[in-house]
Each structure stands twice: as C-alpha cells, then as structure tokens.
Amino acid sequence: MSNTEKQKKVDLSVNVGPLRFRNPVLLASGTVGYGNEIADFIDLSKIGGIVTKSLSLNPRKGNPPQRIVETPSGMLNAIGLANVGVEAFIKDKIPFLKKFDVPLICNIAASSVDEYVECTRILTAEDAITGFEINVSCPNVKEGGLQFGNNPAAVGEITRKVKAVTNKPVIIKLSPNVSYISEFARVVKEEGGDAVSAINTLVGTALDIYSRKPKLFNINGGLSGPAVKPVALAKVLEISRNIDIPIIGIGGIFNWKDAVEFMIAGASAFELGTVNFVDPTTAIKIIEGLEDFCIKQGIKKISELTASYKIDK
Amino acid sequence: MFIQNAVVEKSIELENSVYLLKLYCPEIASVIRPGQFLNIKVSETIQPLLRRPFSVCDVEGECFYIMFNVLGEGTQMLKDKKKGELIDVLGPLGNGFSFEGDYEVPVIVAGGLGAAPFPFFLKKIKPGQNPVCFIGGRSQKDVIKYNLKNVHVATDDGSEGFKGNVIELLKENLETLKNKNVKIFACGPNAMLRALKTFIQENDLECDASLESAMACGFGICQGCPIESTHNKDKYMLVCKDGPVFNIRDIVI
C-alpha cells in the first residue's frame, strides 16, 4: 500500500483546543533545544509541533555540574533552566525555526508572575510562534517553578494574567508533585487556559554511597523516562475523568504503544522528551507506528482514540 | 553525525578489567578523528536507558575500537557482546584533538583510562614526529600502555616507574620538555587536568585536554555536560558539543 493511500485512510491531525497539529507527536521542552541539533536527525516539518527549551526574560546560566544521573529506566536532571533568554531567542533562534513548516510552542519559565507576563507579551508579537506552554512546575530551580506549581491560586493567577496579554493559545504544564492534579487543571480551565500538558518531571534524588553526597549539584532533580510513565498516565486519566479541558500527555513515551496508551487515557496530543536523548529519530518512528496501528484497528481519525478508555466504575 | 549499526568483531580483555571492543562500521571508521567520541546504546531495551560515551581508541581499516573498564551494568553488557551482534552507535561526536601548530614533539599525558584515545592519535601525528607519553595510575595494574610508545610511567604507590603522580613526573622532565618544541595532549581525571593546567600556565606550554563528563544525548540537546569557560562566566560550554577536547586555557576545571 502506498503512503498516499495510507494517508487517505488515517487522519492523523488533532486539535488541542484552538491548536491544530498535523499529527499528535510534539517534541517536549528541554529535550530538543531550539530545534537545530535534532534537525540533523529528523525532518521537523513532519512532526506535529516543537516545544522550545524553557525561556526566561534574561539568559540563565543553569546549574553547575553534575546535572544528570541515570536511574533505573529513567534519568534525573537538574539543568536549572539554562537558556538564552527571550531577546536572543527572537534574534538568533527563531530564524532557524522559521525554515520548517512546524508549529512552534514557546515554553516559558519564570521566577515571578510579572516575568511570565512580560515574556509572553514580548514573544506574542512573533508571527513564528503558534502558542505558549507555561512551565509552572520546574523542580530544578530555587525560586519559581514548583512554588507556583504546588499552589492552585498561583497557577490560576499566572493563567489569567498570561492570557490577558496574548491572543495565542496558552497551555499550562502541570506538576505531578501534587495530590490532585485535576484541581490544577480545573483552575486552568476556569481562568481561561486553552489546554494543560501533563506531566512535568517528578522530584527525585540519588546519593553516592561512598562519598554519601548527592549525585546532583542541585541535590534534587526531575525524574523522567519510562520509569515515570505509569504515574503520568494516572495523572492524565485523572484530569480526563474530572475536567473538560484538552490534555497534552507527557511522561516516558518511548514508542507508539506508549503514545496510544496516553491518547486512550485522555491526551489529544503528546510530547516526547527523554527518548530524544536516546534515539532522536523516535518521533518519526512513532508517527509511522501510529498510522499502522490505526489502519490495523480500522481507526479513520486518530483523534477517536482520545479519552476512549473503557472504565466501568 | 548519524546513527548507525556497528557489528561486533571481538571483545578483547587487556588486563585488570580493561577491555577493547572491535566494531565493524565503515561509515564511522572512515570519518572519525582522534579525540572524537561515540554515544553507544549498549542494550536494545530501556535498561540501561541512556547511551554511553566512548572516545574512539583506534581505527583499523573499516573497524574502530573502543576501550573501557567494567564499572557497571552497561560496560558489563558491552564486554559480553559476541561476534556478529549489532550495536547502535551515534557519532562521530564533538571536536577532536587539534594537530595544528608548529610543535615538533607531541607529548601525551594520560591518567588511567585517559589513555584510551591515544593509539588512534599516534597514527595521525605528522610524519617524522617522535611522540613521548607520560602515563599515570594509582598502581601498576591501573597503568594502560596499550599501543603507546616512548612511555614514561608514574604510579602513586611506586609499583611501576616514578613514584608520584603523572604531573610530578612531568615536572621532573621539565627541562627536557622545554628544550624541545612540544605540545601536550592530555586525557584523564579532572584532578589530573587541574594540576596539568597549572603546570601548563606556569611553563607557558600549549595543551589540548580531553574531558570526561556525565551526559545523556551527546549532541547538545540535554545540556547535561556543562563546563565553565575561562572567557565567559555567564554561560557554560558543553563538553559534548564544544569539546570534549578543549585548549586547556579555555576551561575552568
């Protein structure tokens, strides 16, 4: 069967609120830089979308080494939001990304509500930017990050104020380090957020048994990779069953089967993160795998999978 | 930089848990340069999850070698690879050693497994150059001299060669070095490189140093391998992309 015939049979396009992607495969923030390195391995014009490395108003140096530690089926990172800052992003990074026909979601991480607002206000003027993902949940920086992500009122305030300065879609990236993630999704919906992405990394650490010191300079890091997938799925399912808001699933997706599982649990689209470090061509393999799965299952539109779970209670 | 399946030719035990793995991969063997590295997936499963970085140890025709010691699960799996098995290799990565300059004598300084990149290095030096190697280890069993020549050994416990560390041995040979027009090429633990940097600066020598670092991707996206630059305190460089070989004056070790 030719590719053209295949495409006629499966519609891989998805909507996430007002966002439309050619397929549900997005590349997660912090795992693709600003696109240029991964473009050596895959044609970015074939994927659903790119989420940039977290941007802050001013450049951030990030944490000293050691920044990463491998753990069973996963890894801890404490990069500390190293980034070029908004100005250099516009000047140096957007021109490269414009070469590709791919939606660009700008991830913003800030230390104050005002900084989230200011970053969004500046970046929204850029035509190349399709929408925003607001990182209210980075566990690896001293100020900001989790202190917002753990507080529904703060998440609500950020959502409301960021929405007030942009007409572009706003996704709020939620922390799994909370008891009930759906409470946060509810606040995002109430304050006008367009979608949530879930999950950010889980707080974790690792110690050296000989020196008895933490392996990471930052002591704690964010756990990602296949080790977190069951947690992420449970969080996506919890949001899906309780709140009517589009969800982008994230957490340890390594192959098309993982991706299908997230869509069934409630995700309209999903992001690939840690897997990009291991095999930067995975996005393309997953797109192909999803298409084959849909053909074999007789699914005409991949969006039919979203929240198609069968749970009796 | 690309992803390629390499075919295992053989696993060779040198001594004391140091192994060589010979891999057939013409695509890599034909383009890789001394000091560059490869990020290797040792298992097809998610355990261990990440690739492991190895500098290229040697190249013979369409094959290349990596050198490693068995430290954990990943290197254990590597040493047990059998002829004909396929290994997923990403590379070549990073910048190699710079052979530029008007030096006459390449001087190799290595500690422990830091000797790994130099067999290939020695094949690429300028014709007629007569290299000298200073190799250090805690004791005789840690000294790796595989395919090196003109080797001077330093051991902490004095079980072989000079008693002391390799930088102290360099100091002993300072006058000889200064009378020749040398450039130093180094690889080893950060403590060794730190002492070497002081030595280089005090004696106004040139040095390329290859660093080791924890990393995930190997090509600049994970940002896991920062190294402080002497020239810009506001921004880290990355060992994988800006190195792993640096002019030793450019880095804060």
How far is residue B175 from each of residues A121, A230, A242, B99, B111, measured CA to CA in Å? 63, 64, 77, 23, 22
B3 touches chain A (CB under 8 A): yes
**A59 contacts chain B (CB < 8 A):** yes
User: Is residue B157 one of the residues assigned to a domain?
Assistant: yes
Let me know whether B40 and B66 are in one domain. Answer: yes
Last residue of a domain, one of B70, B93, B116: B93
CATH number of the domain residue B122 falls in: 3.40.50.80
Classify A141 in phi/psi space as left (phi over 0), alpha (psi -120 to 50) or beta: beta
CATH number at residue B76: 2.40.30.10
Q: Does A37 touch chain B (CB under 8 A)?
A: yes
User: Is B100 within a domain?
Assistant: no
Q: What is the pLDDT of residue A144?
A: 52
The answer to whether residues B41 and B148 belong to one domain is no
Same domain, residue pair B88 and B183: no
**Distance of alpha carbon B172 from alpha carbon B151, whole angstroms:** 15
Residues B214, A278: C-beta atoms closer than 8 Å: no
Over residues B83-122, the pLDDT tens digits come to 999 999 999 999 999 998 889 999 999 999 999 999 999 9
Torsion over CA of A159, A164, A165 and A167, rounded to 10 degrees? 90
Q: What is the pLDDT of residue A139?
A: 61
Please count the structural domains in chain B: 2
- Contact between chains at B224 and A79 (C-beta distance less than 8 A): yes
Query: A211: burial class by Cβ within 10 Å (0-12, 13-18, 19+)?
Result: exposed
Give the pLDDT means over successive 10-residue stretches in chain A (313 positions). Answer: 58 98 97 90 96 95 96 96 94 94 95 94 97 84 66 94 98 96 98 98 96 97 97 98 98 98 98 97 98 96 98 86
Our CA-based measurement puts residue A206 at a distance from the nearest CA of chain B, in whole angstroms, of 14
Reading the block at residue A57, the tokens are: 């108003």
**Share above pLDDT 70 across residues of chain B, in percent, rounded to a whole number:** 100
Residues B176 and B69 placed together within one structural domain of the fold:
no
Give A 220-249 residues with CB within 8 A of chain B. 225-226
- What's the confidence (pLDDT) of residue A7? 47
To the nearest whole angstrom, how far is the Cα of A92 from the nearest Cα of chain B?
16
Q: Tell whether B40 is within 8 A of chain A (Cβ).
A: no
Asked if residue B113 belongs to a domain, the reply is yes
CA distance B43 to chain A (A): 11
Which domain-ending residue is among B38, B72, B93? B93
Same domain membership, residue B245 and residue B178 = yes
Which chain A residue has its CA at the smallest distance from B48's CA?
A: A73
Asked, for residue B203, whether it belongs to a domain, the answer is: yes
pLDDT of residue A250: 98
Contacts of B47 in chain A (CB under 8 A): 72-73
Residue B175, min C-alpha distance to chain A (Å): 37
Among B93, B128, B153, where does a domain finish?
Answer: B93
Taking residue B76's Cβ as centre, other Cβ atoms within 10 Å add up to 11
Q: Which residue of B has its CA nearest to A254?
A: B46
Q: Is B214 on the interface with A (CB under 8 A)?
A: yes
How close B190 comes to chain A (CA, Å)? 13
A226 vs B1: CB contact, 8 Å cut-off? no
Contact A70 B50 (CB under 8 A): yes
* Closest CB to B235 among A31, A61, A279: A61
**pLDDT, position A142:** 55
What single-letter DSSP state applies at residue A53? P
- Owning domain of residue B8: 2-93
pLDDT of residue B78: 95
Q: Using a CB-CB distance cutoff of 8 angstroms, which residues of chain B are in contact with residue A279? A: 3, 41, 88
ipTM over 0.90: yes
User: What residues contact residue A7 under an 8 Å CB cut-off, 6+ apart?
Assistant: none
Q: What is the pLDDT of residue A146?
A: 61
Q: What pLDDT score was predicted for residue A141? A: 57
The residues near B133 (Cβ < 8 Å, ≥ 6 apart) are B107, B108, B109, B110, B118, B145, B148, B149, B150, B151, B152
Q: Which of A38, A70, A255 to mutate to test the interface with B (most CBs of B within 10 A)?
A: A70
Residues in chain A: 313
A106 is known as an active-site residue: no
Same domain, B236 and B128: yes
Q: What is the mean pLDDT of residues B21-45?
A: 97
The reply to whether B99 falls in a domain is no
Mean pLDDT of B141-166: 95
Nearest CB to B226 within list A37, A67, A75: A67
- Asked if residue B205 has pLDDT above 90, the reply is yes
Q: Is there a contact between A66 and B50 if contact means CB atoms under 8 Å apart?
A: no
B236/A30 CB distance under 8 A: no
Choose among B220, B167, B219: nearest CA to B197.
Answer: B167
- Please indicate if any CB of chain A lies within 8 Å of the CB of B236: yes
Question: Per residue in B225-238, pLDDT tens?
Answer: 999 999 999 999 99
Q: Chain A residue with minimal CA distance to B42?
A: A278
- Is the same domain home to B112 and B78? no
Residue of chain B nearest A61, judged by CA positions:
B235
Query: Could you tell me how many CB contacts below 8 A there are between chain A and chain B?
Result: 94
pTM above 0.90, yes or no: yes
State whether B162 and B248 are in the same domain.
yes
B145 and B210 in a common domain: yes
Report domain extents, chain A.
3-62+82-205+224-305
What is the CATH architecture assignment of A3-62+82-205+224-305? Alpha-Beta Barrel (3.20)
B22 plus B119 within the same structural domain: no
CB contact under 8 A, B51 and A278: yes
Asked if A201 and A177 touch (Cβ cutoff 8 Å), the reply is no
**Contact: B226, A82; criterion CB under 8 Å:** yes
